[in-house]
Structure 1
Amino acid sequence: MPPRPRPLDPDDGPLQAFAYELRCLRQAAGNPTYRALAGTAGFSATTLSDAAGGVRRPTLDVTLAYVGACGGDVKLWEKRWYALDRRLAGSAGADVRARQSGVQAALTVSEVIEPTEADAENHAPVVDTFRKPGFEPEPVDGEEPGAPHRRLWRSRAWLPAMAVALVLVLTGLLVGLKRGSGDTHTVSGSGCPAAPAGGTTFQGLTYSGSTRVRSSASRSAPVIDQIPPGCTVQFVGFCIGDAELDVTGGTPDVRWFKLGSGGLVSSAVVHGNPPWELRPDRCPGEFPAPSSISLAVAPRPADPETVELRASGSYLGIVGFAGYFSDSGQAVPVPRWHQLGLIGVGADGFVLPWRIAKPTADQSPIQLVAVACLGGDGPTDVLDALTLPPATPTQARPLSLGEGDRSTAERTACRYPS
């Protein structure tokens, strides 16, 4: 059976708390061996083991690969990694002074960002077995408990490892050559698609257990290839297809990213977006681009302080709503654009209940927009705008926005919700 991990106390500091949470995530995933995780993550067992060791901060790529291989919330862990980075950079001097006085401040992940439901599920079955004094990197699978970490250049132990690595490299090259001879696009020895020779438009990072490449922009289209997590994939454009739910943002997305070979990957399972000004291209199974949208405001008799924002139009898949008003409670009210919602079509169409912002003493009429979106951070220039007085919100009038306001409103309405 695999050796017990070396003791790690999350109260020792933010780095140890981060590593502790990584261990908990692995345990919640069924405690797979690091060698098993390495086959999915694309990093060595030693690298993954060190990531959860609490000695040094793992890189972002290693962290996301570790979390993705364990089935965790990659978007959440990306935020946690950046929070840890800021914490370590900002508290270096304070930590030295704290250790000198015998006191060390600890930071738990919950202090950085609220956990999601998926994250809570990952932590539910965790049993605390690590709260013991001292910590060291976790042992790689097969290493004896308590065995010291040996550097390869300090002994001849590197010889078998080098031989195994050479075999793996040669095997990978042979597999890559085999796949390249019959598949729809060339795959590098690591399993990641090679960049097309003709250049690319943007790139994205795969993070799920296996990212499916389909023949057309449809969830039911044949799978022609699969890409492992941790690959930086180059794309030549995107088109509009079936709506997919973004597995990390929880928002719908109709963009499908185009590989140089002609295969398509849903935007919902890739970290990275096209430049916001890039327009959709043609592809098999494509849907027409949104061409019109109309915004209306309707009362809700059961709640006088709430109205329904209703959008309709041609070829709409996702609609974002935004409003321009001052935040209540500000000493000096400054109006700005606020995102009100990003939704896909429901049983009643595109309907968003909105509780009207409490007006300030000098509140001007509120400006509202409905924008046809392609997904998070995927605005289009298909927009409708209204202006309405806060006291009588159903008496809305058409509004024409200037170019600057229009661009800001589009990007605000279609951004990933906070």
Structure 2
Amino acid sequence: MNIWQDDASRDLMSLGGRLALLARGEGSHVWDADGTRYLDFLGGIAVNCLGHAHPVFVDAVSTQAATLSHISNYFASAAQLELAARLKRLAGTGERGRVFLANSGGEANEMAIKLARLHGNPTGRTTILVVDGAFHGRTMGALSLTPKPAYREPFEPALPGIRTVQHSIESLEAAFDDTVAAMIVEPIQGEAGVVSHPDGFLQRARELATAHGALLILDEVQTGAGRTGEWFAFQREGIVPDAVTMAKSIAGGFPLGAMITFGDASDLFYPGTHNSTFGGNPLASATANAVLGFIEEQDLLANVNARGAQLREGVSGLPLVTGTRGAGLLVGITLAVPVAGAVRAAAQRRGLIVNAPTDDVIRIAPAYTIGDAEIAEFLDLFGASLAEVAATTAPTATTEAQK
């Protein structure tokens, strides 16, 4: 064990293995404390949309920190107001839309639960629908929306009134009734292995929510801020939610979350029902404005779509790969056998950072700025990692899984 691992074991909560002690980053690469270079195709789990130490990010943080960094929620700042207006425009809320700025995706989803309660409680509606395989965060409320037993069971009892829907329109239709206050759903389930819903699922959810007087709240913590090639994944579906939560890429690596409401849902909160000391502070808001502004000015969403397609084509035919899932630069690479953990470890040994959210899926979420050079390096390192693992995988198991 390295000295830093001894320090981590002694001083940090034991909540999961830390794979390396990273010291610095530039663009799509990071270096550990020993000087080893890695190609980062996880991006801090879909956070570092401009890569590491991008000049726009660095300038925004340093400039704002030199003037005004934190003022509490008793005051407003120009950066906060600019960001709220920007998010309304990008989401297409119209004039009635409203924005709350938080610190994380989990906090944004906590507010979404409160939105559902404010909507449903006056009429006795207490049910919130979620989808099997969902991940909405680690805080107690968000965890209650997350059906995975390994995450929830140590902390039960969870919030009451949560009902799980399966990945089918039939299950969706059976679940909706007049006790439902809201449905909270990820357009693409990142932690489940970059899983999309069946065709028409989200459109039918919108129809059913409207018919039953419920809210449709979309968790776009991972898919928002351009990750799928649109500003929000719901824009790919041609629907309008009642609210959307976001975080991760919104500020390119600075901690920030948000909830955006549409239409009548914008009138549910009133003074005293929610707030946050750090939420929407000038430093986070200014950084988000700079990052989102740069994405827009440089038309990086076009690059997200083009490079996502290039990556999907590039991994096709590599050892063990059976297909891809996702959209834009949120890509799940499915494997013929459950060896994703071994592939991730082999990739890191070669200097490539990827993620294994499930046993048979590798997830990648690189910077929106990647080009031919980064993709060529990724395919070389990833292909070699797959070949290494394939060589140690039982041939009969591999052949059977590929049938």
Given the two structures, how large is their TM-score scaled by the length of structure 1? Answer: 0.25
Question: Hey, which of these two has a bigger chunk of helix by percent?
Answer: 2
**Greater relative contact order (Cα < 8 A, sep 6+):** 2
Question: Hey, which of these two has a bigger chunk of strand by percent?
Answer: 1
Given the two structures, how large is their TM-score scaled by the length of structure 2? Answer: 0.26
